[in-house]
Amino acid sequence: MMCQGPCLAVPKKKGQDAKLLLSDLGLLDKRLLVASDSDRVFWPLVRDVSEDERLVLEDRLGSFQLVYREFKPSKKRPKSILEELGGTLSPEQLALLPHSFDAVGDIAVLEIPDELLDQRFLVGEAVLRVHKNIRVVLAKAGKVDGVNRVRRFTHLAGEKRTTTLHRENDCVFRVDLASVYFSPRLVTEHARVARQIRPGEIVVDLFAGVGPFSIQIAKVVDARVYSIDINEVAVEFLKQNIHLNKVDDRVFPFSGDARQIVKDKLYSSADRVIMNLPGGAESFIDVACHAMKAEGGIIHYYQFASEPDIFDEAIDTLIRGVEANSRKIVKILHRRKVRPSAPREWQIVVDAQIR
């Protein structure tokens, strides 16, 4: 299908000079193929030329013509959504485009600034055209909220679904983003914790979700993992993922409140407790202490923290909570920033040896 639009016509001997100049000015439409005749080259433009731009062209190129003609679309995939939308959005809007997105399986999850809400569907379609592995584009429409930790989304482009298969560290996870919490930004953290587990350990994953910590542990080491989540839908996906990854003999799912499940079934059982609930883990430090064996073990404690002293508050909170339950922190084994969560705010982790 041919596309008609503005173009710059120059003698062939000035063709490359014109191309470089148009690229510098942001006028060259890379979505269309250059055309030519016996004497001239026709460079497609993203829009009509302003008077100031015309003066620059005259100064650098001398003679040229601005005309309209038909062009064949380029078969080359654009390198970025900035390139794809260069001829559609204003320079001010282009500056606000998201530079990255979360990819969960074949679903792209974007944060669209308020200034681009009217153009959000254009942005979604651009993501599909640029990234051949993406089949669905969603925009965040709220914060992770509620006891089930779910987020609302707006569908922008592609297939109308929120379920996908996500691959991470030799594991596969079936996920429904509209019903469960899942973050691909924790891929390094999942692997880091899994590498620490020793054969024969018993691990309690207090807020397991669809199983990214639990299943990766079971895939790399012969350990028993008890995985708890209050979100019933998440636990159903957890069960599917346990089967998909063939760790049925190592990961044991529980649906319900972690506090009650530890009290009834997992009291004083764990060598290690994972507490990946950064917005509320401090309320479950007592539960982690109750889950841990009498001789002690290791807690992986997650919290949101603000700069500049991002670890001090978390460590103080953990120390107070542990000591309130007749335990003691022997050593802080590790602390690290896991991912940014807001300007000057991070999700962090503190690994602590508990006696």
CATH code of the domain in which 26 resides: 3.30.70.2580
Instruction: Tell me the pLDDT of the chain (355 aa) as tens digits.
Output: 778 889 999 999 999 899 989 988 888 887 788 999 988 999 999 888 989 899 999 999 988 999 999 998 877 777 788 878 876 788 888 889 988 899 999 999 999 999 999 999 989 988 988 898 999 999 999 888 778 788 999 999 999 999 999 999 999 999 999 999 999 999 999 999 999 999 999 999 999 999 999 999 999 999 999 999 999 999 999 999 999 999 999 999 999 999 999 999 999 999 999 999 998 999 999 999 999 999 999 999 999 999 888 999 999 999 999 999 999 999 999 999 999 988 889 999 999 999 9
Whether residue 202 is found in the same domain as residue 218: yes
Whether residue 180 is found in the same domain as residue 232: yes
Closest to 21 measured CA to CA, from 67, 70, 54, 66 = 54
Helix (H) or strand (E) holding 287: helix 285-291
> Mind giving me the DSSP string for 131-180?
-TT--EEEEE-S--BTTTTB--EEEEEESS--EEEEEETTEEEEEETTTS
Distance CA 70, CA 242 (A): 56
Whether residue 213 is found in the same domain as residue 307: yes
| Residue that is last in its domain, among 110, 131, 161 | 161
In a domain, 76, yes or no: no
Q: What CATH number does residue 132 fall under?
A: 3.30.300.110
In a domain, 324, yes or no: yes
Number of structural domains, the chain?
Answer: 3
Helix (H) or strand (E) holding 8: strand 3-11
Distance CA 213, CA 241 (A): 12
Whether residue 114 is found in the same domain as residue 224: no
pLDDT at 30: 79
Whether residue 349 is found in the same domain as residue 262: yes
In a domain, 33, yes or no: yes
In a domain, 326, yes or no: yes
pTM of the model: 0.78
User: 120 is in which domain, residue-wise?
Assistant: 81-161
Whether residue 271 is found in the same domain as residue 181: yes
Output the CA–CA distances (angstroms, integers) from residue 245 to 22, 75, 156, 206, in the order listed: 52, 39, 31, 20
In a domain, 227, yes or no: yes
Q: Which residue pairs from 303-307 have beta carbons closer than 8 angstroms and sit at least 24 positions apart in sequence?
A: 303/278, 303/347, 303/348, 303/350, 304/278, 304/279, 304/341, 304/345, 304/346, 304/347, 304/348, 305/345, 305/346, 305/347, 305/348, 306/344, 306/345, 306/346, 307/344, 307/345, 307/346
Helix (H) or strand (E) holding 275: strand 272-275
Whether residue 327 is found in the same domain as residue 349: yes
pLDDT at 75: 73
Q: What CATH number does residue 276 fall under?
A: 3.40.50.150
| Residue that is last in its domain, among 18, 42, 71 | 71
Q: What is the dihedral of CA 295, 195, 220, 224, to 10 degrees?
A: 20
| Residue that is last in its domain, among 161, 192, 217 | 161
Whether residue 52 is found in the same domain as residue 101: no
Q: Which residue type, as a one-letter code, is found at position 226? A: Y
Whether residue 183 is found in the same domain as residue 274: yes
